[in-house]
Structure 1
Amino acid sequence: MKHRYLIAIGLVFLTLAPLVLPTYQVTLLNYIGLYALVVLGLILLTGVGGMTSFGQAAFVGLGAYTTAYLTTTEQLPAWLSWTAGSPWLALLVGITLTAAVALFLGALTLRLSGHYLPLGTIAWGISLYYLFGTMSSMGGHTGISGLPSLSFFGLLLDKGEKIFYLIWVILLLAIWITSNLLNSREGRAIRALKGGQLMAESMGVNTFRSKMVIFLISALFAAISGWLYAHTQRFVNPTPFGLHMGIDYLFMALIGGVGSVWGALVGAGVLTMLKQWLQDWLPLIMGSNGQYETIVFGLLIVFMMQRSPGGLWPLLVKLVPMRWRIQQHILINENVDNLSRRPLPEKGELLLEAHDVTRRFGGLVANNKMNLSLHAGEVLALIGPNGAGKSTMFNQLSAVDTPSDGEVIFMGTSLQGKSSRQVANMGMSRTFQHVKLLPTMTVLENVALGAHMRGSKGVMSAALHREREEEQRLLKEAKYQLERVGLGDHLYAEAGSLALGQQRILEIARALCADPCVLLLDEPAAGLRFKEKQALAQLLTKLKEEGLAILLVEHDMDFVMNLVDRIVVMEFGEKIAEGKPEEIQTNPAVLEAYLGGEE
């Protein structure tokens, strides 16, 4: 609870700062607030979502130039005349325009990956920068002057000491909104973008939508910062909205801590103060004027990335005593209603079938005319030597990959043209051969991601903290599934700290959290000790008795033979045998191909 004292101290400082600090220091704090608002969007976009953007300064320019044009142009077009030179209505227009531009640019660039994405943001960032300087109605490179001061309920915010409070209230509100968003169902989907997109799609997350959400939010934060900047300076020109400033914003995010909301404030503060200090002192030391601070910044960034790649905020947190830190444990209300469950099919009902599934990769045929079926209340094993094509077949069944020929039918519907997200929504859930989880998130949050489809509250509800009841229901379900698989004592541990075997069990709990009727398990027993395998076998047997259909790929023959109802054996991409465990154990073709041959 003592972390509240730190927050109270911070609020008292912000309240008194304009009253006791010199004008110069207040101006610096204003700039820190403006920069931090932009960097906060970059934290979302780059640190959380894993998408590097150099174009945030251009969105700042959109907000600044929109209000500059609307508040200084004497004869506005008829369709904009309703703004009547009001800065507050100009903010509304700026937000709307920025949202439209961001949606358009996001649709163009967010499907890019690797180095193409940051290059794409550089391209449109430069384009908008030159647009600001080229349009005569925007004052060209000379800019626009004479912007009115903001007024709030009759109070004229014409000095830095007065607009200070508006800047920092908006910044703190943005931090609150961002924190709420990240600690929600939508936030888990956003955090899964960095390193877990395939897994997230298989859990029903629309990853492109999540990318668009944070791209839009980051653009709006930047536009609001531009609006505030324009009315603070009462003058705009293209210079502060170029690529160099976009790079500075990224530096601020890196210095503060690109993975932390509060890192935006730390990074903006450190870089702004340090830049002013270096600009004052380096010319005295070097004996002449020049861009020496840029050289020093470059060296400092390289040094810090080596010594503290997580930025300064994690280091600052370590200096705070544990009793003063914010409590990370999520309190779960056991009294909320349980999530509704889908009715399971009747035992023996055909749920999943593959008809002549063939998958080619160029000249390589990984699967050739594969046929199999899976029924409710049945455990089916797919086995075969390494390279037999099991994982490829597994991906065809779960719609992660698409067959070259043939088709997969689930619940009477062909999966041709369907995404893994759509298939997950139909009632199929899966684990992965190579464990896919979010290592820095808690075990509870990782499993709650599996219940993403079972919630409906959107971004606005999350941002305004209006989805708490649904969130409690999702977390309660995640806790239930973790206790069900034997990980109830690890709810708040980081998922990456678990042993490999426990991580595989975590994946099963996450898959169960989706409330499937078909469960696909890729080598679930790998890395488990004997007692853990026994517990897993008991769990799968219980799920089978409940009516769940389970298909598993596994190399542990003792585990398979004592658990499954039927086995399909593959070799060189083809099915060579199918039958009950005792039949497979004596099948000559299987013994030759997989079990070492007949004696």
Structure 2
Amino acid sequence: MNAIRLRFLLIAAAVLLMSQTPVPDLWITNLNYIGLFAIASLGVVLLTGVAGLTSFGQAAFVGLGAYASAYISSVQGISPWLGLFLGLAITASVALVLALLTLRMSGHYLPLATIAWALALYYTMSNMEFLGKYDGLLSIPPLSIGSLALTHERAYCLVIWTVALIAAAGVLRLLDSRPGRAIRALHGGSVMAEAMGVSTFGYKVKVFLIAALLASVSGWLFAHFQRAINPSPFSLGKGIEYLFMAVLGGVGSVWGAFTGATVIKLLEDQIQVWLPRFIGTGNYELPVLGAIVVLLLKHAPKGLWPYLEPWLPKLLAIGQRKRDWEAAAALPLRDKPQQGQTLLEVVEVRKVFGGLVAVNDVSFDIKAGEIVGLLGPNGAGKSTTFNLITGVASLSNGRVRLLGEEIGGLPSRLIARRGVSRTFQHVKMLPEMSVLENVALGGYLRSHAGILRSVAGLARDEERRLFREAERQLERVGLREQMHEPAGNLALGQARLMEIARALCADPVLLLLDEPAAGLRHQEKQSLGRVLRQLKGEGMSLLLVEHDMEFVMDLTDRIVVMEFGTKLMEGTPAEVQASPQVRAAYLGMEH
């Protein structure tokens, strides 16, 4: 049986058993709150832990879901089930506006913006007359299923935990999918993801909406479980507490949300019991809780879940991905240009940083099936030129055309759609993902499954096709045996080959390699050279940026040499080797 499915069944069985056995009512109450907190914390895990977007506003979205359903069910007498959809609609609308306003911010500005709008939403809810201001709303009806009203906490326990486990299963399915890999690339891999064709801003908005909707569902359940609400549980302090839960449990793990919710809830209860015995009455619970959380994080910086997981039975351990794609159909291939056709034209491109001219009116072209080297000493402007071609840097002047179509100035994801794929001077990968998954990210544009299809499990055939292609490209570069290893375990030479496999997974018409031999040992350079010769023999068109002249001499058809941002010369490898200008540029010799 699938290990993840078994884990869900065991948790569900434990909750069912506890809710139907004569355990103290306090246990059931705590279990209910843990489930409610875990649903909201799941959104924080997805938003902050996976996508790298720190938010303090999760509690405000819980409040939107709670107040929307509480108002129409208690004041307007409408079914709480309609209240769920109203809450989701209001939350999605508010979250979309906030996402569009704030998610382009970076650094400390984004967390500050989430604090600002969390406070704004809290005080808005607190000052609306029809929502009862600070007193809130009372006499909220319970949820009902048919004619059965859920008036007992044990019945609510089953509903809350059913929703919590469905939410966890959905998030796990999402992360293990095409859009999930794109979401995981947002945290530290945005430049690489854009080069693979991913709209990183679009996925930030989507993750933000998912996190908000999870919070809204938690708020809906909370309102009808409590039967009365006021603004206090939706304050900035509670938003910080949700962040505490995710970080303490393990901010990068779905199960960390459940672990953190459990620990925080039980700590709060125990602090309230024990603290008055030592320091008397007073509002000291939050400072003490904060101090305990800090101490725990000092000794468990990645959260508690990574320490708990090894203690689970081996039966529950998640193994490597099942290799079930042998019979999958191949992904579609794009039309390739005829050999010798002009593929890329770089016309007088220029890049100015302030008063510094980094690239000064450089021009060259590449024919289909040709390997062109872009050489020069360190600081010659090679990588900047490379980034101008791929859209990572913006042109100050000049033009870049691919198969006659203007691509200069386009974002890198749109250039990738036209068939340009690349590697990076410094290897960019997702180290905790497997080598296979990293390479599969390169096939993002060759697949189409979105978030809803992935969560519903309707994209499995496409996933198999994608992993079949990823394995084929790994075999092409000699890394098939390492495909299930975490990418962070690879040596530098293997990591560069993995990057090439990822770029090839996009089925490019032009492959650009940015200093692929940099930092490699002699044997690693030989392995890389064999792969590039194989690609050359298969008719692949390449632009190879290098400063190692010896490495590229027997690989390239033509070489463009740069010095101080200008084009020094262009010719065959033999002509370049014989040029006194090139020798002077590399060795500082007079000529």
Q: TM-score range by the shorter chain?
A: over 0.9
State the 1:164 CA deviation: 1.2
Q: Tell me the secondary structure at the aligned position of residue 135 of structure 2.
A: coil
- What is the identity, as a one-letter code, of the residue corresponding to 1:46? T
- Tell me if the contact between 1:501 and 1:526 (Cα under 8 Å) persists in the aligned partners: no
| Paired position in structure 1 for 2:13 | 12
- The TM-score normalised by the length of structure 2 is 0.97
Output the CA distance in 1 between the equivalents of 2:2 and 2:435.
26
| Paired position in structure 2 for 1:231 | 224
- The TM-score normalised by the length of structure 1 is 0.96
Q: Answer yes or no: is 1:29 the counterpart of 2:31.
A: yes
Output the CA distance in 1 between the equivalents of 2:335 and 2:78.
59
Q: Answer yes or no: is 1:493 the counterpart of 2:485.
A: yes
Q: Tell me the secondary structure at the aligned position of residue 350 of structure 2.
A: strand
Output the CA distance in 1 between the equivalents of 2:342 and 2:2.
58
| Paired position in structure 2 for 1:81 | none
Deviations 1:541-570 (A, max 9, x none): 232233321001112222111111111010
5 Å-filtered alignment, 1:359-370, equals 359-370=351-362
State the 1:292 CA deviation: 3.1
| Paired position in structure 2 for 1:512 | 504
| Paired position in structure 2 for 1:77 | none
Q: Answer yes or no: is 1:101 the counterpart of 2:99.
A: no
5 Å-filtered alignment, 1:363-442, equals 363-442=355-434
Please say which of residues 308-317 and 522-531 is displaced more in the overlay. 522-531
- Tell me if the contact between 2:127 and 2:134 (Cα under 8 Å) persists in the aligned partners: yes
Q: Percent identity?
A: 52
Output the CA distance in 2 between the equivalents of 1:593 and 1:8.
67
Output the CA distance in 2 between the equivalents of 1:140 and 1:413.
59
- Tell me if the contact between 1:355 and 1:408 (Cα under 8 Å) persists in the aligned partners: yes
State the 1:403 CA deviation: 1.3
State the 1:300 CA deviation: 2.2
| Paired position in structure 1 for 2:66 | 64
Deviations 1:489-516 (A, max 9, x none): 1111111111111111111010001100
Q: 1:440 to 1:16 in 2, by over 3 A?
A: same
Q: Answer yes or no: is 1:309 the counterpart of 2:310.
A: no
Q: Tell me the secondary structure at the aligned position of residue 146 of structure 1.
A: coil
State the 1:475 CA deviation: 0.8
State the 1:309 CA deviation: 1.2
| Paired position in structure 1 for 2:558 | 566
Deviations 1:137-195 (A, max 9, x none): 11111111011111012211012111111111011000010000000000000000000
Deviations 1:233-258 (A, max 9, x none): 11111111000000000010011100
- Tell me if the contact between 1:346 and 1:547 (Cα under 8 Å) persists in the aligned partners: no
Partner of residue 246 from structure 1, selected from 239, 248, 256? 239
- Tell me if the contact between 1:511 and 1:519 (Cα under 8 Å) persists in the aligned partners: yes
| Paired position in structure 2 for 1:259 | 252
Please say which of residues 508-517 and 13-22 is displaced more in the overlay. 13-22
How many pairs are equivalent? 589
Please, which runs of 5 or more residues in structure 2 have no aligned partner?
A: none
Q: Tell me the secondary structure at the aligned position of residue 236 of structure 1.
A: coil
Output the CA distance in 1 between the equivalents of 2:52 and 2:282.
35
Q: Tell me the secondary structure at the aligned position of residue 594 of structure 1.
A: helix
Q: Tell me the secondary structure at the aligned position of residue 107 of structure 2.
A: coil
- Tell me if the contact between 1:2 and 1:325 (Cα under 8 Å) persists in the aligned partners: no
Q: Give me the CA root mean square deviation.
A: 1.5
5 Å-filtered alignment, 1:306-345, equals 306-345=298-337
- Tell me if the contact between 1:431 and 1:508 (Cα under 8 Å) persists in the aligned partners: yes
| Paired position in structure 1 for 2:185 | 192
State the 1:328 CA deviation: 3.2
Partner of residue 458 from structure 2, selected from 449, 463, 466? 466
Output the CA distance in 2 between the equivalents of 1:179 and 1:550.
38
State the 1:322 CA deviation: 4.2
Partner of residue 202 from structure 2, selected from 209, 212, 235? 209
Output the CA distance in 2 between the equivalents of 1:94 and 1:262.
26
Deviations 1:199-251 (A, max 9, x none): 00000011111111111111001001111111011111111100000000001
State the 1:534 CA deviation: 2.9
- Tell me if the contact between 1:332 and 1:475 (Cα under 8 Å) persists in the aligned partners: no
Output the CA distance in 2 between the equivalents of 1:2 and 1:524.
40
Output the CA distance in 2 between the equivalents of 1:335 and 1:531.
35
State the 1:592 CA deviation: 1.0
Please, which runs of 5 or more residues in structure 1 have no aligned partner?
A: 75-83
Q: 1:122 to 1:36 in 2, by over 3 A?
A: same
Please say which of residues 358-367 and 299-308 is displaced more in the overlay. 299-308
Q: Answer yes or no: is 1:153 the counterpart of 2:154.
A: no
Output the CA distance in 1 between the equivalents of 2:7 and 2:127.
48
- What is the identity, as a one-letter code, of the residue corresponding to 1:363? G
- What is the identity, as a one-letter code, of the residue corresponding to 2:331? L
State the 1:321 CA deviation: 5.0
Q: Tell me the secondary structure at the aligned position of residue 321 of structure 2.
A: coil
Output the CA distance in 2 between the equivalents of 1:178 and 1:328.
19
- Tell me if the contact between 2:388 and 2:408 (Cα under 8 Å) persists in the aligned partners: no
- Tell me if the contact between 1:523 and 1:552 (Cα under 8 Å) persists in the aligned partners: yes
- Tell me if the contact between 2:357 and 2:565 (Cα under 8 Å) persists in the aligned partners: yes
- Tell me if the contact between 1:181 and 1:187 (Cα under 8 Å) persists in the aligned partners: yes
- What is the identity, as a one-letter code, of the residue corresponding to 2:150? L
| Paired position in structure 1 for 2:41 | 39
Q: Tell me the secondary structure at the aligned position of residue 256 of structure 1.
A: helix
- What is the identity, as a one-letter code, of the residue corresponding to 1:307? H
Output the CA distance in 2 between the equivalents of 1:323 and 1:557.
54
Q: Tell me the secondary structure at the aligned position of residue 354 of structure 1.
A: strand
- What is the identity, as a one-letter code, of the residue corresponding to 2:543? L
Q: Answer yes or no: is 1:176 the counterpart of 2:169.
A: yes
Q: Tell me the secondary structure at the aligned position of residue 352 of structure 2.
A: strand
Output the CA distance in 2 between the equivalents of 1:183 and 1:303.
33
- Tell me if the contact between 2:395 and 2:409 (Cα under 8 Å) persists in the aligned partners: no
| Paired position in structure 2 for 1:448 | 440
- What is the identity, as a one-letter code, of the residue corresponding to 1:38? A
- What is the identity, as a one-letter code, of the residue corresponding to 1:534? Q
Q: 1:159 to 1:419 in 2, by over 3 A?
A: same
Deviations 1:245-297 (A, max 9, x none): 000000100111000001111100110011101110111122x0123332332
State the 1:353 CA deviation: 1.2
Q: Tell me the secondary structure at the aligned position of residue 329 of structure 2.
A: coil
Output the CA distance in 1 between the equivalents of 2:366 and 2:262.
59
State the 1:18 CA deviation: 1.9
Deviations 1:331-352 (A, max 9, x none): 2320010111112211111111
